[in-house]
Structure 1
Amino acid sequence: MPPSQKSHLQLPTDLKALPQILSWFEQLHQPQIARKLWLRFQLALAEAFTNAVRHAHKNQSPEVPIDIEVTIFEDSIEIRVWDWGPPFDLHKKLSEMLSNEENDSGGGRGLQLMESITDHLSYTRTADDRNCLLMVKHYGGDSGLSQRSITDFN
């Protein structure tokens, strides 16, 4: 299924860029996406960018870019955030946090938040030595099935 909208943004490693990201993301909102869901995904995006700045790019120059791509489909939205940090095992970290929940260490809450908001969350190393955080959320119900179902049965 082709995307109905796709947009890319490249930013410096600087938390001061967060308002620019949120403004850019807001301009991408589509009427078929419930406002509440959109705001939750906006929060996940803010957490992803903040983690890239604070953790992945911790010892990097502010000029090192962070790339963000938003792709909106008829029934889902995908956000990709690329960073130049060291590789990181997201699922191992989430598992460790879950088993150590009673310790309440205070770290990693952004990861847990992103996981709770998204239907799919992954962090993989790319061929160009970057990392790509992928967040996917299906919002579909009726809007995701209507057009496809009609054409599939004709």
Structure 2
Amino acid sequence: MLSIMKQDHLRVKSDLKLLNQVQQWFENFCLQHLSQLGWSESQLYRLNLALAEGFTNAVRHAHHALPPETTIEIDVSLWIDRLEIRIWDHGKPFNPDAIVEPEPGTLQVGGYGWFLLRRLADSVAYERGPDGRNCLLIVKYGQKGQQ
């Protein structure tokens, strides 16, 4: 059974102004742990973009009716073969599979974030946890896994 090599946790208020802090925290984790494992800059850039999309979606959509003091928690777990990002929010759950993917060349208001996430990561899931929070799970496999 594979075990977690490294992990970190961040808790921030639901505020878009904190996006730079969130991304810097993630970049520091990547510099410390992923670079020496052969992860490419392109992979790290895509993961940082996925993190930014997940965080902003939590602030804008999940927490739009909640006080700004409502926290968002982020867990990063590095395994031998993959990196997992979990973004926990307190909003109402939604079914991302109910979002219709826009046809190429058409305009649509909203809904692009979910499809962007699925293209940036190898696996994306959004589920309600037993504690009443929602968890966005973003998984990217390393050199030995998928690119």
Give the TM-score, by structure 2 length. 0.89
Give how far 1:9 is off: 0.3
Partner of 2:73: 67
Q: Distance in 1 between matches of 2:18 and 2:114?
A: 20
Counterpart amino acid of residue 15 in structure 1: L
8 A contact 1:68–1:79 mirrored in 2: yes
Q: Does 1:119 align with 2:122?
A: yes
Partner of 1:130: 133
Q: Distance in 2 between matches of 1:92 and 1:120?
A: 17
Q: Does 1:52 align with 2:94?
A: no
Q: Distance in 2 between matches of 1:78 and 1:123?
A: 13
Counterpart amino acid of residue 80 in structure 1: R
Q: Distance in 1 between matches of 2:109 and 2:115?
A: 11
Partner of 2:101: 97
Give how far 1:128 is off: 1.0
Q: Distance in 2 between matches of 1:50 and 1:121?
A: 16
User: After TM superposition, which residue ranges in structure 1, 4 or more long, deviate above 4 angstroms?
Assistant: 100-103
8 A contact 2:46–2:121 mirrored in 1: no
Cα deviation, 1:81-124, whole Å, max 9, x if unaligned, reads: 0101101101222xx125x5564213122211111011111100
Give the secondary-structure state (helix, strand or coil) at the position aligned to 1:106.
Answer: coil
Cα deviation, 1:7-53, whole Å, max 9, x if unaligned, reads: 01001000011111111001111222111101110000000000000
Q: Percent of counterpart pairs with the same letter?
A: 40
Q: Distance in 1 between matches of 2:95 and 2:108?
A: 19
Partner of 2:142: 139
Q: Distance in 2 between matches of 1:125 and 1:84?
A: 10
Unpaired runs of at least 5, structure 1: 145-154
Give the TM-score, by structure 1 length. 0.85
Relative to total residues, which structure has the larger strand share, 1 or 2? 2
Larger Rg: 1
Counterpart amino acid of residue 137 in structure 2: L
Q: Distance in 2 between matches of 1:102 and 1:27?
A: 37
Relative to total residues, which structure has the larger helix share, 1 or 2? 1
